[in-house]
Amino acid sequence: MDPESFEFSFDMGGIDRDRLLAETAEKLSVLGHHYGDGKSGDTESPLAALVKELQGDTAEFAKSPVVQRITEATFAGSKLQIGGRFKELARDHNLYCASFPIYFHPKRGWAFNKLEVVVEFNPGADPLTRPKAVRILPEKEFQTLLKTGMRLEFGLNEELDFSAKSGLLEVQAGNAQASAHAQAGAKATTGLNLLAGPFTYRVKKAKIDHSAVGLEKVFWRVEGAEFFQESDFPLVVVLQVPKATKELKVAGVLQAYRYFSFLSADLQDAIAELGRRFRAFFEAGLPKQDKQMWDITGLM
C-alpha cells in the first residue's frame, strides 16, 4: 500500500475526549427519562455514569522508547556471525533497534479493537541526515501467526530480520539459555541468540497494515476483535542513522478505538439522539489519542 494513503480513521483535531464525554454524560442525564434510565429530576442517569467511566480509558506510549545500538560487539555477544546486510548498512550508518511500548487499559471490560500509530524520525531535519526504518514489527507477514491468539516471541536475527517462535519462553536463572516450544512456522530463533528482543505478543484476529520500510516515518494500523485487553503491545523499528546525524528525535501519535457495537443497545439509541458531533465520535469508536515527542540522542 502507498504509505501516503495512510491517514488516521478519525480526525481528533480540536477534540478534547474527556470534555466531550463529560458533555455527553450531561446530555444523557437530561434524556435519561426517555429510556427508562432514571427520572427527569435525577442528577445523573446510569447511562451517563457509564459514559463517564469511559474517561478512565488508557491507551498511551511508554514514557521513553527502549533503544539498543546494533554493532559488531552485539553479534559477538549473541554468538552470531555478522550478516552481509549489517556490513552493507554499517559502512555509512549506525544501526539501532527502537521499541515503543504501549499500554492499554480500557474501562468496562470492552477491549480496544483497532490501533493506529505513526512514529517519525527527526521531523523537519535535513533529509540527508534523517534516520530511516529498515525493519519494522509487527509486520503484515506475521499477521497469520498473530491471529492464532498464541503467545508469540519475536527477535532480531543476524540477517536483521525478525523471526518468531510460539509457546512459553522459559528463561533459566543465572544464564542466557532459554527454550521455546510449539514452533510457529516462521523462521525460528535459536534460544536467546538474538541481536534484539524477544518482543512478546498475544493478540487475537489481528489484521495488520503498515507503510513501507525505507522511509523516515512508520505508520501501523492493527485491527482485531478484543485483542487489546489490558496488555502491552510493542512497536519495533530497526533504524539506519547516517553517521553524520548528531541528534535523534522521534514524534509519535497513536489512536486506539473500540467497536461502537460493544455499547449497550440503550446507550446506542441514546447516542443517536445527540448532535452530529457526538454521534460521529462514538460511531468512530470513541478514539483515545496520545502524543509524544522524545529526544533519544542520549541513548545513541
DSSP string, the chain: --GGG---SS--TT--HHHHHHHHHHHHHHHGGGGTSS-TT-SS-HHHHHHHHGGG-EEEE-SS-EEEEE-HHHHHHTT-PPPHHHHHHHTTEEEEEEEE-EEEE-GGG--EEEEEEEEEESTTS-GGG--EEEEEES-GGGHHHHTB---EEEEE-TTS-EEEEES--EEPTTSS-EE--S--SSPPP-TT--SEEEEEE--BS-EEEEPPSSSSEEEEEEEEEEEESS-B--EEEEEEEETT----EEEEEEEEE--GGGS-HHHHHHHHTS-HHHHHHHHTT--EEEEEEEE-GGG-
Residue 63 buriedness (CB in 10 A; 0-12 / 13-18 / 19+)? exposed
pLDDT at 173: 25
pLDDT at 88: 95
Task: Say if strands 102-105 and 235-242 run parallel, antiparallel, or are unpaired.
Answer: unpaired
Topology adopted by domain 13-299: Immunoglobulin-like (2.60.40)
- CB proximity list for 260: less than 8 A, separation 6 or greater: 268, 282, 283, 284, 285, 286
pLDDT at 258: 84
Instruction: Using the structure block, give the residue that is written with the C-alpha cell 541481536.
Output: 195
pLDDT at 183: 34
Which residue, among 234, 207, 251, has the nearest Cα to 66 in the 3D structure? 234
Say how many Å lie between the first and final Cα of the chain, rounded: 31
pLDDT at 187: 38
pLDDT at 57: 86
Cα–Cα distance measured from residue 24 to residue 28, given in angstroms and rounded to the nearest whole number: 6
pLDDT at 253: 96
Cα–Cα distance measured from residue 121 to residue 249, given in angstroms and rounded to the nearest whole number: 6
pLDDT at 156: 93
Mean pLDDT, consecutive 10-residue stretches, the chain (300 aa), reads 64 92 86 53 70 86 93 92 93 96 78 91 94 93 71 87 62 29 35 80 78 94 66 86 95 89 74 86 92 91
